[in-house]
Structure 1
Amino acid sequence: MRTTILDTLRAAAAPMTVAEVAEATDIPQTTVRFHLRALTADGLIVVDTAEHDGPGRPRLLYRARPAMDPSGPRNYGILAEVLLRTLADTPDAAARAVAAGREWGAAGSSGSDEPVEDLLAVLDDLGFAPEAAGDRIRLNRCPFLELARRQPALTCSVHRGIVQGVLSRHHTDLRLERLDAFVDGDHCLAVLAGGRR
């Protein structure tokens, strides 16, 4: 219904009232109003007030704003795969992936007094479902699992960089010693070394 209403407004020669949209689409006015509010909130239509001289509230006029409809499906996985394939063709791909992850990890860090807690919070927010045990952090999920299986060198390099970036925000020599991917087929393992934990 939303698409029908938006298409009707886009095809109209002039702004339309709720009643006109309802008549043109054969959709009840209450339903039209509901969708018009949502379309307005999404910035896809503009609401104007009609000139008014008499008693009662002035009529509202709706017109489409040139814009893409944001309600459609997203497929960021394709974009990520395209970018990984492109990056894979560069000679220093893994180093660039680590650097990008490091920058992102540093930006996502809270810089709190507890580097491991900060790291766990960042990893949890990303969807890794981390569990700390001593100097090891078990990553029970990978939010980029399909890409990690197809491009493990690059995807895991980004993960390494994220961990390094978070730890770099803290005044400690705590560092990522290694990141083991797909340990026993059901988790990854980050091993930390040095520093106060």
Structure 2
Amino acid sequence: MTDDASTSAALASPARRRVLDAVRGATEPPTAQQLAGELDLHVTTVRFHLDQLEQLHLVERTAGRTGRRGRPSVHYRAATLGPDAARDQMIQALAEALAASGAAGRRESTAAGRRWADALPLPDGGAHVAVAEAFERLGFDPQVSGDQIRLRACPFRDAASRHPEVVCQVHSGLAERIVEQVAGDAVDVRLAPFVEPGLCILTLAPKGGLHAA
């Protein structure tokens, strides 16, 4: 399982996300006991979730000062973000903002994908080859099979799983614009997100063919 997939799976637990949000929102690093009281959870449950979050490098331990002898209390704070984590949080924030805009946000997401395509070097070959090459460079691990391009990885999986109406629309717009650049309006594009865990499918068909399917 990839790091993105592991993080997505770990944060699928509502209780774990509440613990993480509480740590991130605290003005001072809390203890497990303090979090348990705030969230109305058993302290053992909170410690379990903190251990999982620590393994994913989302939180880290810090020693508290008690002013007394003995072992210092263990507090938790949000882990210092590396460039990848900071990027992921920014993508998540942008996705949430666009998702809140409803249909307008979906249109803007598609337009963003089309602008993204314009900024990429135009691949050689027909529509399927051009789209597959572009998505390969971006880390989607595409596999061409007939009219379909199977996207077996997603570098934006966490944000896409929470807001497919935004992130997947960006990817759809990206594919649509690449197809336009190499085939004009002769080919239709349809993206089916998460047909299986970790798999999205792009279908490219002659104009009107997708509507008949």
- Specify if TM > 0.5: yes
Question: Residues 75-119 of structure 1, C-alpha deviation per residue, up to 9 Å, x if partnerless?
Answer: 101111111111222240111100100111233241534222111
Output the CA distance in 2 between the equivalents of 1:171 and 1:156: 22
Gaps of 5+ in 1: 1-71
Decide whether aligned partners of structure 1 residues 171 and 150 sit closer, same or farther in structure 2, where only a CA change above 3 A counts: closer
After superposition, residues 72-83 of structure 1 pair within 5 angstroms as: 73-74=82-83, 75-83=86-94
- The answer to whether 1:127 aligns with 2:136 is no
After superposition, residues 1-197 of structure 1 pair within 5 angstroms as: 73-74=82-83, 75-91=86-102, 92-110=104-122, 112-172=124-184, 173-176=186-189, 178-194=190-206
Aligned residues with identical type, % of pairs: 28
Structure with a larger share of its residues in helix: 2
Shift of 1:168: 1.3
Decide whether aligned partners of structure 1 residues 160 and 102 sit closer, same or farther in structure 2, where only a CA change above 3 A counts: same
Tell me what 1:52 maps to. Answer: none
RMSD of aligned C-alpha atoms?
1.8
The letter of the residue matching 2:111 is A
Matched position secondary structure for 1:170: helix
Using the size of structure 1 for normalisation, the TM-score is 0.58
Output the CA distance in 1 between the equivalents of 2:82 and 2:198: 30
Gaps of 5+ in 2: 1-80, 208-213
Shift of 1:136: 0.5
Decide whether aligned partners of structure 1 residues 165 and 109 sit closer, same or farther in structure 2, where only a CA change above 3 A counts: farther
Output the CA distance in 1 between the equivalents of 2:192 and 2:179: 18
Contact 1:109/1:118 (8 A) holds in 2: no
- Which moved further from structure 2: 124-133 or 89-98? 89-98
